[in-house]
Amino acid sequence: MGFVFSKVFSGLFGSEQIRLIIIGLDNAGKTTILYRLHKDEVVQTVPTVGFNVESVTYKNLKFQVWDLGGQTSLRPYWRWYYQDSNAIIYVVDSADKDRLEVAKQELELMLEEEEVKGLPLLIFANKQDLPEALSESEIVNALDLHSIKNRQWALFKISAIKGEGLNEGFEWLVDVLKY
């Protein structure tokens, strides 16, 4: 894991395993975020059901990543990965206005899963380096985040490609997970 990230996460290095799920529509920038955490350790698994899960493990911290959207038949398999997870990181492409509605629907569906009940939700509004990227309040409204109840959530504007905003988001998450 990159030095900066290991610093951010050092507060979590107890004995317990911490499992973080990173999801969102394809092209949102999830793999790019994973590479930022540690390029050399990204492991891609292709289970028989045919959906890719990428993961990075660092000390007792495990990140698992996959694409949401479309294939309803694969949804039951997600539960495997949601189980025992400690937090959800939802990534959206801030410049992909056409698919924000789909991103909102997928987020809603995901939050209904029993396995993720009450888990903190970190939203990364990615690709803020693009001129057409929507603002924070536009994304909060488009995803209807204010209707989220019974869990802590926060949205951070990031550029995964530039590595901007990620630390702030992960710091929020670490704080939430500590208490």
Report, in Å, the least distance between residue 94 CB and ligand G3D. 9
Pick from 161, 167, 168, 177: which binds ligand G3D (CB under 6 A)? 161
User: With binding defined as CB under 5 A, does residue 31 bind Mg ion?
Assistant: yes
Return phi, psi of residue 51, to 5°.
-120, 140
Give whole-number Cα distances, 66 to 7, 108, 112, in Å. Answer: 25, 17, 18
Q: Count CB-CB contacts under 10 A for residue 2.
A: 15
127 binds, among ligand G3D, Mg ion, none (CB under 5 to 8 A by kind): ligand G3D
User: With binding defined as CB under 6 A, does residue 28 bind ligand G3D?
Assistant: yes
User: With binding defined as CB under 6 A, does residue 126 bind ligand G3D?
Assistant: yes
Report, in Å, the least distance between residue 38 CB and ligand G3D. 14
Indicate the residue type of 3. F
Q: Are strands 61-68 and 53-58 parallel, antiparallel or unpaired?
A: antiparallel
Q: Which of residues 56-115 bind Mg ion (CB under 5 A)?
A: none
| 71 carries an active-site annotation | yes
Residue 44: is it exposed, middle or buried by C-beta count within 10 angstroms (0-12/13-18/19+)? exposed
Q: Which of residues 33-62 bind ligand G3D (CB under 6 A)?
A: none
Give whole-number Cα distances, 42 to 37, 63, 113, 160, in Å. Answer: 9, 10, 26, 16
Closer of 97 and 117 to ligand G3D (Cβ): 97
CB 152 within 8 A of CB 176: yes
Q: Which of 17, 71, 83, 105 is catalytic?
A: 71
User: With binding defined as CB under 6 A, does residue 127 bind ligand G3D?
Assistant: yes
Chain contacts with Mg ion (rule: CB under 5 A): 30-31
Chain contacts with ligand G3D (rule: CB under 6 A): 24, 26-32, 67, 126-127, 129-130, 159-161
